Amino acid sequence: GAGVSQSPSNKVTEKGKDVELRCDPISGHTALYWYRQRLGQGLEFLIYFQGNSAPDKSGLPSDRFSAERTGESVSTLTIQRTQQEDSAVYLCASSHGTRQGTQYFGPGTRLTVL
Amino acid sequence: EDQVTQSPEALRLQEGESSSLNCSYTVSGLRGLFWYRQDPGKGPEFLFTLYSAGEEKEKERLKATLTKKESFLHITAPKPEDSATYLCAVQQGGSEKLVFGKGTKLTVNP
């Protein structure tokens, strides 16, 4: 079946602009996660959704970052007033509600802030 | 705070030369330890989940083992297509997030 998809695959933006990154989870997966991978660093957790609620937002680095999810489907990660340090690959993962330990990742969105 | 340390950072092997990658972790109440493979420009690909010390899992040339402090990913007779970055992550009981190490970049030369 189809895996996790993300769009766009690449995004170049100017400092100060807002960006929206999209994630389509695997059909039937109720849990959705966002991670950030900066060059030379491990993946950093950003936020977790169960359905359309976000029980854990502890990884969002600042109030410029926000995310929402429509039901048990698409999620959007929004970064406002982008800064150069926001440049990274943003990865989305989803998991089945009854086996939340196994997270399956999408291909990521590479964000470059000039 | 949960911590995951992977070693070595990079490893070069000749085709057929077996070796092991290490993942040391500190976590309060391990829920699961996960191994992923990541190819350049792609998202992590799930390999294994280990839940308790003594557990082992195998897939083709890969075998993952778990103790109370570390996990090993053993690669037997590797092939060039095994070249990738291997990521280790832990999940604490009561939490849904994964805490990742920085990965080991494996290169297998023909």
Q: Do B100 and A100 touch (CB under 8 A)?
A: no
* A48 contacts B44? CB cut-off 8 A: no
Say if the Cβ atoms of B96 and A31 lie within 8 Å. yes
pLDDT at A63 over 60: yes
Residue A99 has pLDDT above 60, yes or no: no
Interface contact A25, partner B, CB < 8 A: no
E strand or H helix at B83 = none
Best A7, A103, A112 member to test B by mutation, with max B CBs in 10 Å, is A103
Whether residue B23 lies within 8 A of chain A, CB to CB, comes out as no
The residue-averaged pLDDT of A87-93 equals 98
As a whole number of angstroms, the distance between CA A80 and CA A63 comes to: 9
- pLDDT over threshold 60, residue A100: no
Are the beta carbons of B86 and B73 closer than 8 angstroms?
yes
pLDDT surpassing 80 at residue B33 = yes
How do residues A19-47 score in pLDDT, each as one tens digit? 999 999 999 899 999 999 999 888 999 99
3-state secondary structure chain A: CCCCEEECCEEEECCCCCEEEEEECCCCCCEEEEEEECCCCCEEEEEEEECCEEEECCCCCCCCEEEEECCCCCEEEEECCCCHHHCEEEEEEEECCCCCCCCEECCCEEEEEC
Confidence of residue A64 (pLDDT cuts 50, 70, 90): very high
Q: What share of chain B in percent tops pLDDT 70?
A: 100
Please give the distance of CA B67 from its chain centroid, rounded to a whole number.
13
Collapsing DSSP states into helix, strand and coil, what is residue B110? coil
State the pLDDT confidence band at A1, using cuts at 50, 70 and 90.
low
Residues in Cβ contact with A62 at an 8 Å cutoff, skipping those fewer than 6 apart:
none
Q: Is A39 exposed, middle or buried (0-12, 13-18, 19+ CB in 10 A)?
A: exposed
Q: Please, what's the b/e burial string for A8-30 (b: 16 or more CB within 10 A of its CB; e: otherwise)?
A: eeebebeeeeebebebbbbeebb
Nearest to B104 by CA among B87, B90, B81: B87
Is the peptide bond prior to B8 cis by the omega test (within 30 degrees of 0)?
yes
Question: For residue A17, what pLDDT band results from cuts at 50, 70 and 90?
Answer: very high
- Report the alpha-carbon distance of residue A11 to residue A101 in Å, rounded: 30
**pLDDT per position as a tens digit, B57-95:** 999 999 999 999 999 999 999 999 999 999 999 998 888
A41 — contact with chain B (CB < 8 Å)? yes
Which residues does chain B have within 8 Å of residue A40's beta carbon, measured at their own beta carbons? 102
